Copies of this chain bind each other. A is one copy, B any other.
């Protein structure tokens, strides 16, 4: 009788479990936070689809997370705190240790008197922070936080590429910026990306950011992509470029890691 009940429950479990992906609210909010930290910006509709709940639920979750100061709710979506919060204390950068290791590896590419360009995003910001102090650099940037960081480096001459400022990415965008970029050619540009896929290349959430990144790539002899492995094999709406325009890709993984297999025969230096 009792055993019958157990068998019955087992049966039910077997039948029903694959269908229902039951999720705790906390778990869901955790996933949302993760997504926001990873991509800096997400749409409520995308979240709802990904988590398989109604948009209302996602909206309520985001509202709560915003109230707890864990992210910033914006019209139609949410952005990470780091993007609107200009506090020098970046203790809450997502996957900071990975980004630090990426930045360290990337900085080995630098030579004395190199002319470089550093893009926006938390990984690039980390590079700016960890630039070696023993070599002289001329550094262009269009990111406000990166520029702030570079000002603290005595060995770096910083040139800000002006233009209309994008609120959430905190970088200069628009025609002005693109024109200014057209007039320079740097040795290396270090760029981040919202999403990267071996097949679809680099993609972004924001169309204007894509235009700017394209101009950045054109303004550099070699382009270095800084990207934590979590972003590999993801994609979004707007395409920046194919992977073959990237000279070097830096992740926190060892170059021979299996996760990088898809990128190995693509004429990209893996670091």
- Pairwise interchain contact A24-B74, C-beta atoms closer than 8 A: yes
Q: Does A265 contact B (CB under 8 A)?
A: no
Interface segment, one of A54-62, A147-155, A214-222, A248-256: A147-155
Chain copies in complex:
2
- Pairwise interchain contact B33-A148, C-beta atoms closer than 8 A: no
- Pairwise interchain contact B90-A88, C-beta atoms closer than 8 A: no
Chain A residues 152 to 173 lying within 8 A of chain B, measured CB to CB, are 152, 154, 157-165, 167, 170, 172
Chain A residues 136 to 195 lying within 8 A of chain B, measured CB to CB, are 144, 147-148, 150-152, 154, 157-165, 167, 170, 172, 176, 180
- Pairwise interchain contact B27-A79, C-beta atoms closer than 8 A: yes
**Complex formed: what's the CA distance from A91 to B163 in Å?**
30
- Pairwise interchain contact A158-B164, C-beta atoms closer than 8 A: yes
How many chain A residues touch B (CB < 8 A): the figure is: 62
- Pairwise interchain contact A162-B162, C-beta atoms closer than 8 A: yes
- Pairwise interchain contact B75-A25, C-beta atoms closer than 8 A: yes
CB of A104 to closest CB in B, whole Å: 23
Residue of B nearest to A40 (CB): B27
- Pairwise interchain contact A84-B165, C-beta atoms closer than 8 A: no
Chain A: residues with CB nearer than 8 A to chain B?
A: 2-3, 6-7, 9-10, 13-14, 17-18, 22, 24-27, 30, 33, 41, 43, 49, 52, 68-70, 72, 74-77, 79, 81, 83-92, 144, 147-148, 150-152, 154, 157-165, 167, 170, 172, 176, 180
